[in-house]
Structure 1
Amino acid sequence: MVDDVWGIMKPTFQDMRSALQAQRMKVSFDTYDLTCDELTRRILKKRIDIAPEYQRQFRWDDERQSGLIESVLLGIPVPNLFMATSSTPDEAVVWEVVDGLQRSLSIVNFILEGEQREELGLKAPLCLKGLSKLPELNGCCFSDLPEDMRSIFLDRPIKVTVLNDKSDRQVRFDLFERLNTGGISLTSQEVRSCIYRGVFLDLINELSSNADFRTVVVVPKNRQSDGSLQEYVLRFFAYLNGVEGFKHSVKEFLNSFIEKGNQYDEELLDEYRDEFNRVMNYLARCFPNGLKRGGKGSTPANVFEGVSVGAAQALRVCPQLEVCSKNNWIDSKAFRGYTTSATNSLPKVKGRIAYAKEAFLNHGYIEP
């Protein structure tokens, strides 16, 4: 069917149905009813991971936690907990909480006592407050309730939906982004840290602490623990070794590269580590005050891509390359053209890398 206005082929109803069916086949879920007792035991046994790297803190106050406990006691349905499997060969399958961290912790915080609390880093036990339907329970901890009420609470079922390992990895990434509503806005790299665990991710995490890298890349304090530094490392490797696979979506490009990287052998990972360290050592000497436009602010991701990959390519050509002390080219009109406005296109990506490579090989002297 051709659109009369634009002259473009519009998808037919069958095209739409086929697209929907294809995407649905990539998603696979299992659904469980876990009692509060079973949920707590699984968390204690670490079969449910309530604190993946991206879950930075327990945020609900006592009144909000108490409201959830009251709903469970009354048998009022609470929203499903959403989890995803995370498995490693020869190790038990673990469920990671995607959506429902605060609800899970509230239940555990109410039930557990003594040393078990210390294992999970919980502070004082929750004593109920602000209850509207059961005000008689205000001020009560779990141990203060009569045994029959404790049993009622422990036996209450909580619905848990688990995205299993049959699901396509990119779909898992999309769903993490869509479903995480725990009050913490996740960055793309934090989501990758859950979906794409493996040897390459371990290397990325290791190199994000490299002292020379930290000299070169300047990020605000509020972004130093949100995966931004790890994503800069990933961008370096992806654009250096896989730029031809880049189409337009940076997320999908980086996801694809990290998934492949987790299949690399130790020898290749060592080569990656060595090259990264060499390049960052070189750049730290070129930019001792950090890679910043106009000498101010933080390091834009696309500027880092161009400069770091360009430097790596230059060092591959000339391993004994002299330190480039004339670096005003990063503020040149030509380089800005590659790093501002519609920068996520292959020509712009290749352009900024090539420009930086030429600048390093010519010791900073390059035609504007």
Structure 2
Amino acid sequence: MELYMSRIENELMIDGEITSIYSIKTSQMETAKEILAFQNGELIKTVHITKLNWYKNKIKIGDLILLVLGGDRKPWKNGLIAFAKVISIDYLKESSKNYELDVELLWKLPAEMTPDDFYIYPDVKNAQNIGPSINGTPNQAIGKIDKKALFAIFAAIDNIFPGNELFIKEIIGEKNFSYIQNVPVLRNTIPKDQIEEDLLVTHGDSKGKNKNFSPKNISIDKNTYSVFELNRKFGNNLIKLDSDFQRLDVWKTYQKSELIESVLMGLPIPIFYFNEASTGELIVVDGRQRLTAFFEFIDNKFPLTELKIFSEYNSKYFKDLDPLMKSRIEDYQIQSYVIVPPTDDSIKFHIFDRVNRAGTQLNKQEIRNALYNGQITKFLKKVVNSAKFRQSTSNYFVKDTRMKDRYIVLRYMAFEYYFESLKYGYEYTDIDTLLGNAMTYFNKLEESSFDRYIDKVQKGIDNAIFYLGNDAFINKNNKSSRPINMNIFETQMYFLSRIPQSEELKQVVFKKLESLFQDKNFIDSIGSFRDGKTKIETRFKIMDKLLREVNV
């Protein structure tokens, strides 16, 4: 759907037609259920909306709708949830003020967006049902949205849910996508995202660029697999798609169908990249979407659609194909490169990064999650999805899709590993090496030994809630922005995991931790060069001093 800027303030030009933009807030149970049940990539999904009254004689077929969930005591979180377009209008009786709509769902957001999510975008301020300055609006309220607000809304979405450019472009078009990059933002209210910056893979300043790797430590095999063989491996749990490490740009059915049609035509497809784990599993570095399409089609999970050459197979599942066509798919040869042991982990890290640069770039934690898959990655996923972790971090990471929450927990655990390893002569070089070494160590631990670290994490989180409540893990010198600070997280967790839970200590502990924000040495240790050895040792020595002062 290609959109072009219109001179009319509240409208857009879509395929040569003037199109208006509306928001609809609904609390109807059936309507909400249909929206929430929608999966991006489905074939046409329509939703019926009733009891509308405003704009009865103005809204028209093709208009763009922003769907917002509302209502009190409903089993959903209120907020913007999906985009749709009008496909039919029922004006009911001429005497009636009400009318009804059928809309086609275009895209559902990964999570609801509340007015707070748009606070730094002034153009969204007065967007009805959406903007942060809007007082409560009645359910089934329909409001008109101007172009500036629409682009600012998409800018907020692109910021909170990165990796969804494909969906956004399908709604607003390639030409207009650039507008969302330049919407006004209240810069002075945006806290610098220290965690996101820390996870960024910087190509020009790679940690390993000065290392002299021997060719003997780099082993990459070129292999050919049939689709049938890969599907068999997947069925035997020998291929790790690891969907929670990869990105959110999930293919739609027509994209999967296009891949299948290419195979039926005998066309070549891009090379796949795998990392072979020590257990023999193949972890997908590049090609997850394509493999998922193959496996799902063979498993009859979607029908072919929008085929151009083999149009006679549209609407057919794998089971409906004749034996020759099935064989073409199953016998298709896939070219791949496999990174095999004993390739150095830091080299694997760079291979992951380079291979994935063409798409939405993976950050460091997403790469680690694939490289060191095991009991540590399972635990990190479990703990950050727990109610207590979310409570202790004031739900700061609820909408995170890039593993920032797992990263801060891993950092804390890695420092616990580091201080224990010092007595065995461990030498600190840089934070990325430490995190990789720690994950390797945790994956090799027996369950009983690993439980010691789990207990520390759980105790730290429990005590954060007990002693600090909503003040846990934030920089008190920048309280207005309230982002979770990773260095404060790791140091407070270190401290809190070492003290008992006691009402008598409550006031003392709170004051001791609050005093850190007047300690110039501590503040300096979480500032620039925060992951240098001296800064790390400084802040944790300060925490050891606090522990002695509370006599534990």
1:228 aligns with 2:414: no
Residue 505 of structure 2, aligned match among 313, 318, 322: 322
Q: Distance in 2 between matches of 1:108 and 1:265?
A: 34
Q: CA deviation at 1:67?
A: 2.8
Matched, 1:300 2:476: no
What's the counterpart of residue 20 of structure 2? Answer: none
Where do 1:132-147 residues align within 5 Å? 134=309, 136-137=311-312, 139=314, 141=316, 142=318, 145-147=321-323
What is aligned with 1:291? 473
RMSD, matched Cα: 3.6
The CA deviation at 1:254 is 0.7
Cα 1:96–1:181 shift into 2, 3 Å: farther
Quote how far apart the aligned CAs of 1:242 are: 1.0
- Bigger fraction of residues in helix: 1
* Contact preservation (8 Å) 1:85, 1:96: yes
**Paired position in structure 2 for 1:239:** 415
Partner of 2:254: 63
- Cα deviation digits, residues 78-98 of structure 1 (max 9, x gap): 11111122354xxxx322222
Residue of structure 2 equivalent to 1:12: none
* Structure-2 separation of matches of 1:27 and 1:144: 45
Alignment partner of 1:164 is 2:340: yes
Q: Please report the TM-score for the alignment, with normalisation by the length of structure 2.
A: 0.51
From 320, 340, 353, the counterpart of 2:540: 353
Query: How many residues are treated as equivalent by the alignment?
Result: 326
In the alignment, the residues of structure 2 paired with residue 112 and residue 155 of structure 1 have an alpha-carbon distance, to the nearest angstrom, of 16
CA distance in 1, matches of 2:475, 2:225: 53
Task: Answer yes or no: is the 8 Å Cα contact 1:292–1:299 preserved in 2.
Answer: yes
Q: State the partner residue of 1:11.
A: none
Answer whether contact 1:129 1:138 (CA < 8 A) is retained. Answer: no
TM-score by length of 1: 0.73
Paired residues for 1:74-85 under 5 Å = 74-85=265-276
Structure 2's unaligned 5+ residue stretches are 1-209
> Separation in 2 of the partners of 1:248 and 1:268?
25
Matched residue SS, 2:444: coil
**Cα 1:96/1:293, change in 2 over 3 Å:** same
Look up the SS of the partner of 1:242 in the other structure: helix
Q: Is 2:254–2:304's contact at 8 Å kept on the other side of the alignment? A: no
Give the Cα–Cα distance (whole angstroms) in 2 for the partners of residues 349 and 171 of structure 1.
26
Give runs of aligned pairs for residues 162-311 of structure 1, distance below 5 A. Answer: 162-180=338-356, 185-205=361-381, 207-208=383-384, 213-218=389-394, 219-223=396-400, 226-243=402-419, 245=426, 247=428, 249-289=430-470, 290-294=472-476, 295=479, 296-311=481-496
Partner of 1:15: none
The residue type equivalent to 2:514 in the other structure is N
- C-alpha contact (below 8 Å) 1:311/1:360 kept by paired residues: no
Secondary structure at the aligned position of 2:469 is classed as coil
Alpha-carbon distance in structure 2 between the residues aligned to 1:38 and 1:84: 17
- Give the aligned residue type for 1:74: M
Q: Deviations over 1:284-340 (max 9, x none)?
A: 332111321234422111221233234557x49xx9992312243343361322212
Give the aligned partner of residue 154 of structure 1: 330
Write the distance in 1 (CA, Å) between the matches of 2:458 and 2:322: 62
- Of residues 353-362 and 233-242 in structure 1, the stretch that sits farther from structure 2 once superposed is 353-362
| Per-residue Cα deviation, 1:20-76 (whole angstroms, up to 9, x for no partner) | 6x3432222233222233333333333323345424667112332233223323322
Letter in 2 for 1:353: F
Does the 8 Å contact 2:397/2:405 carry over to 1? Answer: no
Using a 3 Å threshold, how does the CA distance of structure 1 residues 358 and 164 change in structure 2: closer, same or farther? same
Query: Alpha carbons of 1:110 and 1:282: their partners in 2 closer, same or farther (altered >3 Å)?
Result: closer
Shift of 1:246: 6.4
Aligned counterparts of 1:50 and 1:204: Cα–Cα separation in 2: 18
Measure the CA separation in 1 of the matches of 2:328 and 2:378.
43
- Aligned AA for 1:24? P
Contact 1:235 1:254 in 2 (8 A): yes
Give the drift of 1:150: 3.7
The range that moved more, 162-171 or 178-187, is 178-187
| Aligned structure 1 segments of 4 or more residues deviating by more than 6 angstroms | none
Structure 1, unaligned runs of 5 or more:
1-17, 114-121, 364-368
Q: Among 233, 255, 264, which residue is 1:42 paired with?
A: 233
